[in-house]
Structure 1
Amino acid sequence: MPDAYPSPAHLPFNDTCIGDFTRGAPDCDPGGDTGWWLALNGTELLLREENGLIQLPAGSCPMPAADPPLYLGRLCGQPLRALRLDRDASVPAGFFLESLLGAQPRMDIAQLTLGGIAAQVLHWRDNSHFCSRCGQGNQPVPGEWGMKCKSCGYAHYPHIHPCVIVIVRRPGEVLLTRKAAWPPNRYSLVAGFLEFGECLEEAVAREVLEETGIRVQNIRYVGSQSWPFPSQLMAGFVADYAGGEIKVQESELEDARWFSVDDLPVLPPKRSIARYLIDEYCQ
């Protein structure tokens, strides 16, 4: 993984990282045994190592699948398909499973990003078998990424959930937060989902006030990152301290505090927009 990124658009899980990839509708699969595989066991991607190079599996899938594969498009001119692996199957020699959530995964940024796309698409398919309006079965919409109810005709398309994440600053300090489930001593930024009727900037102000008791001003958009765990779009902001004393929302956080920019705690991995914002605005 790179040690730094020129902009949020270049962060992992964004299309900019992939290169020669053309999306295709799932019913456009040309068939055959050629092509690349994005084979997932949970959030772990199946990879192979050959002559010191880490590559995606190619040709016939080397492990049994739990469900039919899903065609995603073409990578370097060859078909690219995603599938979920049989959890009980053994990994064959020469292959290994690598977590998409690792701080330093053994894969390049394009493979990581493609694995994230596969995870997001498979999550959507797994949760779109039935119509949310009437409960009857769905069927694919020809030539599109969509599902349509066989009974009432209601159309369902991939659900992407917008979230905000913000670095709050005052002279020489930044506001960082911690959840109990995170690794020891790791802190990150205030983040949360939008509510009905909110714009992104309003969500920033509300989330910071709710979680930490701090009021903010001068809210500015920085950039965004696709976050396929399972299907968020993280919109990143920077804001200035406007007032208030820290009061931790204990239902959400274990801790929140001001840190000197010269004495920061353990931070999120550099592949995240949280870390991008911290690195960019603590200089």
Structure 2
Amino acid sequence: MATLYSKPADDEPAWWFVVSSDHLFLDAAGEVPFGCLQELSFPGLDEYRVVEIGELRERSCYLVMADYLDEQFTGGEFAPLRQLLAVEDMEKFAMAGRARQFSDFLNTHRFCGRCGARMQAIEWELAMHCNQCQHRCYPRVSPCIIVAIRKGDNILLAQGKRHKAGLHSILAGFVEAGESLEQALEREVYEEAGIRVKNIQYHLSQPWSFPHSLMMGFTAEWAEGELHIDPHELITGDWFAFDNLPMLPPEGTIARTLIDLSQKR
């Protein structure tokens, strides 16, 4: 459980997730800073909001909410959170995503959405409370489906508009109000690719902090229809043979896990 917390002792070794908008401060080696405050090139943290967000490898993790690309943090640079995927440490990536989501939550809930009064942080849990109308908010989590679709010895892969150039992945989309996960999957697949699917099977989930998603992963099989890729959502998409795949998402991501599962079926 995350709690609002004053800064730890200067000699406490800890992980430091310094978040600025959608960027994370990485040290000169491209890693999340680890160590005692007295050893790091950090400014004094008295004027920053510091939040204890959990533990990683038996050491505390702290979110530090920084100003936009705060120049007071030296010995590294702010980088997009996705850059951590290249490190292939999914535990660290997940904690960094948690830090970013908490930072977004605290920044966007300064005022009550019901009555407009200033909200106050709850000290024993990560929540914001309005003392005027008693409205309380918690960090938002948005459910999404992601699905690997197989057709014989081929898999459907597409390049999204936010993807790295050349990278292809599987289809995904947000669950709408009143939908089951399976209904959302069938709708998203039809809207983005124009096909129907069958044999839908759930496998696993993964938090995905872009900005606050929880990805629920499925596999399915093509049932009918010709591909018609939605140009508003995707750049391109096609069936690819498993022995001739394009650039894929990195190991450890839910997309790559589902692609590998489909290949083994």
Cα displacement (A) at 1:112: 2.8
Amino acid at match of 2:103: L
1:230 paired residue number: 211
1:19 aligned residue: none
Between the aligned partners of 1:143 and 1:90, the Cα distance in structure 2 is 29
In the alignment, what sits opposite 1:44?
24
- The answer to whether the aligner puts 1:33 opposite 2:10 as a matched pair is yes
The answer to whether the aligner puts 1:262 opposite 2:243 as a matched pair is yes
- How far does residue 55 in structure 1 lie from its aligned partner after superposition? 5.0
Deviations, residues 144-173 of structure 1 (Å, cap 9, x unaligned): 221111221111011011100000111111
Structural RMSD (CA): 2.6
1:12 aligned residue: none
CA distance in 1, matches of 2:153, 2:257: 18
In structure 1, distance between residues paired with 2:229 and 2:90:
36
Number of residue pairs matched by the alignment? 256
Matches within 5 A, 1:152-163: 152-163=133-144
8 Å contact kept, 1:47–1:98: no
Cα shift readout 1:174-201 (whole Å, capped 9, x = no counterpart): 1111223422222111100001111111
Please name the residue that 2:119 is paired with: 138
Query: After the TM superposition, which residues 1-283 of structure 1 pair with which residues of structure 2 at under 5 Å, given as runs?
Result: 23-27=1-5, 29=6, 31-35=8-12, 36=14, 37-41=16-20, 42-47=22-27, 55-60=33-38, 62-64=41-43, 67-73=48-54, 79-86=60-67, 87-89=69-71, 91-93=73-75, 95=76, 97=78, 99-102=80-83, 105-106=86-87, 108-283=89-264
The 2-side partners of 1:242 and 1:48 are apart by 50
Partner SS state of residue 81, structure 1: strand
Q: CA deviation at 1:76?
A: 6.0
Offset at residue 77 of structure 1 (A): 6.2
**CA distance change for structure 1 residues 62 and 210 in 2, over 3 Å: closer, same or farther?**
same
Q: 5+ residue gaps in structure 1?
A: 1-22
Rate the CA distance shift 1:73–1:173 in 2: closer, same or farther, 3 A: closer
Letter in 2 for 1:46: L
Of stretches 97-106 and 202-211 in structure 1, the one that deviates more from structure 2 is 97-106
Give the drift of 1:26: 1.9
Shift of 1:90: 5.5
- Cα pair distance change 1:123/1:71, threshold 3 Å: same
TM-superposed deviation, 1:105:
3.7
User: TM-score, normalization: structure 1?
Assistant: 0.80
Q: Secondary structure at the match of 1:254?
A: strand
Q: Return the alpha-carbon distance in structure 1 between the equivalents of residues 65 and 35 of structure 2.
A: 14
Q: Which amino acid aligns with 2:253?
A: S
The more displaced of 53-62 and 256-265 is 53-62
Provide the C-alpha distance between the structure 1 equivalents of 2:243 and 2:18, rounded to a whole number of angstroms.
42
TM-fit CA distance, 1:135: 1.9
* Cα distance between partner residues in 1 of 2:193 and 2:86: 33
Question: How far did 1:71 drift?
Answer: 2.4
The separation in 2 between residues aligned to 1:40 and 1:123, in whole angstroms, is: 9
Equivalent residue letter for 1:25:
T
The AA in structure 2 aligned to 1:111 is K
